[in-house]
Structure 1
C-alpha cells in the first residue's frame, strides 16, 4: 500500500471535519481538493468514502453534546429527561422530509446535480442569502432562543429547508441555519439544532452508501476509510467548538462572502482550466 494514499485520506478528513459544520459546503471543497490530491481508488469507493467519513463528524457531535442528548442521564431530573426525549422527537420529525426525498431520489439527484456548475452556483446563491438574512435580522431579536421554544412546526419547517441540502454545494448546515434564522431562531440555537439533525441524517446517508457499495473491503480500503473517519472526528470537534464560540460574537456574513468567492473559483476553474 502506498502511504501517500493515507496522507490523502488525512487531508480529506481534515477538509471534511472543517467544512461539514461551518456552512461553506463540504461538497464544494471536496470536489476542489479531489482535483489535486485524488485518491487512487475506484470511483465507487471514493463516492462512498466522501459520505462515510461523515460518521466521524457525527461522533464529534455525540461526544461534545452527550450529556445534553442523553435522555437516560442520572444527572437529569424527570422533567429534564422528558425535555431531552422531546428534543429527539423534534429532531426525527425534522429529518423526515430529507430522509424521504434522499432515499427515493439519491441516484437521480447525483446524476443531475453532481457537477461543478451546480456546486459553483449554489455556493454563490447561499452565500448571498447568508448576507441578506443577516442584514434582514440586524435589528431584530430572535423569538426562539431555547429548545423548549422550538415547536414541532418549527422543526418541520427547518427540516424542509434541509431538503435543499441534497443539492451539492448547498451545505446542509448552511441550508438549515438559513431556514432556522428566517423563522426567528437565534444563531446559536440554529447551529446546535443543525448539529443534532446531522446525527440521523449522516448515519442514514452513510449506511445507504455502504449498502450500495457493499460491505466487502480490501485491507487498503479499510485503512483509508478508518483514517479519514478518525481525522474527520478530531477536526470536527475543533470546528464545532470554533463555530459556537464565533457566532456568540459575530454573524454569518463572513461565511457568505467566502462562499461567493469559492463559488466563482469553482466555476472559473472547471470552465477555463479543465
Structure 2
C-alpha cells in the first residue's frame, strides 16, 4: 500500500485526535473530512469509530497513574469506588439509547448537512451557557456524586447526533450542573474511556463482515496518528481551560458549521 493510499487514514487520524476531546465534534469533522477526501460508506463509518480507540488510549496514557491508583484501590479505597460508580452511572444512558437507536443513527444521521446543523446549534448552546453567572459547587472529580454523573451521562446522549460533540455535550452538561470547567473537562475525558470502548466494540461487532485483512494497515495508521495527535490536544485543552472559557469553540462551531452548511447545501 503506497503513501497516497494511506493519505485519508493519516489525515482522518490527525483530525480525530485533535478534535475528539475538544467541544467541536470529532465525528462531525470526520464525516466532513471523509466527504472531502471521497472516503465514505459503511467502511468509512467503521474506520471513524475504530480510530477513536487511538484517541481514547491517549487519555489512558496521560492519566495512567490516576487510573492505576483507582484500579489498585478498588477494594479498599472509597474514593476509587465512588469514581468507578460514577463512570458506570455516567455511561448507562448512552448505552441504553445507543442500543435502541444504533441503526437509526447510522442510517439517517451520518451526513454532512446534519453535522453542520448540529455544529451551529451546539455553538449557540455554548454561548448561552457561558453567559450564565457561574458559581461551581464541584471543583474536583472526586467530589462528584452518582447523581452528578447521571446528569452528565444524560447530557452525553445528545452527542449521538453527529456534529453535537460527545465532549461538548458532557462538558457543557457538567457546567450546567455545577461542575467547574476543569472538573467538567476531566470527567469528560474519563467518561470517554468506557463510553468509547463500548461504542467501538459494538460497532466492530456489527460491521465485522465488511472488513478485510487488507484494511488492517489503513486502520492501524489512522489509529496511531489519532493517538499522538490526541496527546497534544488533551494537554493543550487542560492548560487552556485553566484560564479561559469555551466561547472560542462556540465561535468556531458557528462559523465552520455555517460554512459547511452553505457548501453541502449548494
TM-score by length of 1: 0.91
Task: Answer yes or no: is the 8 Å Cα contact 1:188–1:248 preserved in 2.
Answer: yes
Q: What pairs up with 1:107-122 in 2 under 5 angstroms?
A: 107-122=103-118
C-alpha separation between the residues in 2 aligned to 1:54 and 1:187? 23
Task: Answer yes or no: is the 8 Å Cα contact 2:55–2:226 preserved in 1.
Answer: yes
C-alpha separation between the residues in 2 aligned to 1:72 and 1:88? 9
RMSD value, Cα? 1.8
Tell me the equivalent position of 2:207.
Answer: 213
2:168 matches 1:170: no
Q: State which of 185, 189, 206 in structure 2 corresponds to 1:191.
A: 185
1:141 deviates by 2.3
C-alpha separation between the residues in 2 aligned to 1:268 and 1:249? 34
SS of equivalent residue, structure 2 residue 265 = helix
Tell me the equivalent position of 2:66.
Answer: 68
Task: Answer yes or no: is the 8 Å Cα contact 2:126–2:246 preserved in 1.
Answer: yes
What are the Cα deviations for residues 209-247 of structure 1, in whole angstroms up to 9, with x where unaligned?
111121674343000111101110111111000000000
Which runs of structure 1 show a deviation greater than 3 angstroms over 4 or more consecutive aligned residues?
A: 76-79, 215-219
Task: Answer yes or no: is the 8 Å Cα contact 2:28–2:115 preserved in 1.
Answer: yes
Q: State which of 125, 128, 136 in structure 2 corresponds to 1:142.
A: 136
Tell me the equivalent position of 1:85.
Answer: 81
C-alpha separation between the residues in 2 aligned to 1:143 and 1:203? 30
C-alpha separation between the residues in 1 aligned to 2:98 and 2:161? 10
1:36 deviates by 2.5
What are the Cα deviations for residues 102-142 of structure 1, in whole angstroms up to 9, with x where unaligned?
012111122232223321221111101111111113xx321
Q: How many residues align?
A: 265
What are the Cα deviations for residues 49-79 of structure 1, in whole angstroms up to 9, with x where unaligned?
0001000011011101111122244xx7987
Task: Answer yes or no: is the 8 Å Cα contact 1:69–1:84 preserved in 2.
Answer: no
2:258 matches 1:264: yes
Where structure 2 has 5 or more consecutive residues not aligned to the other structure, the ranges are: none
C-alpha separation between the residues in 1 aligned to 2:28 and 2:41? 17
Tell me the equivalent position of 1:179.
Answer: 173
TM-score by length of 2: 0.94
Question: For residues 3 and 86 of structure 1, do their structure 2 counterparts lie closer, same or farther at Cα, with a shift above 3 Å needed?
Answer: same
Task: Answer yes or no: is the 8 Å Cα contact 2:34–2:44 preserved in 1.
Answer: no
Task: Answer yes or no: is the 8 Å Cα contact 1:68–1:84 preserved in 2.
Answer: no
Where structure 1 has 5 or more consecutive residues not aligned to the other structure, the ranges are: none
Task: Answer yes or no: is the 8 Å Cα contact 2:25–2:168 preserved in 1.
Answer: yes
Q: State which of 132, 146, 159 in structure 2 corresponds to 1:152.
A: 146
SS of equivalent residue, structure 1 residue 214 = helix
Tell me the equivalent position of 2:227.
Answer: 233
Task: Answer yes or no: is the 8 Å Cα contact 1:51–1:206 preserved in 2.
Answer: yes
Question: For residues 65 and 215 of structure 1, do their structure 2 counterparts lie closer, same or farther at Cα, with a shift above 3 Å needed?
Answer: farther
SS of equivalent residue, structure 1 residue 92 = helix
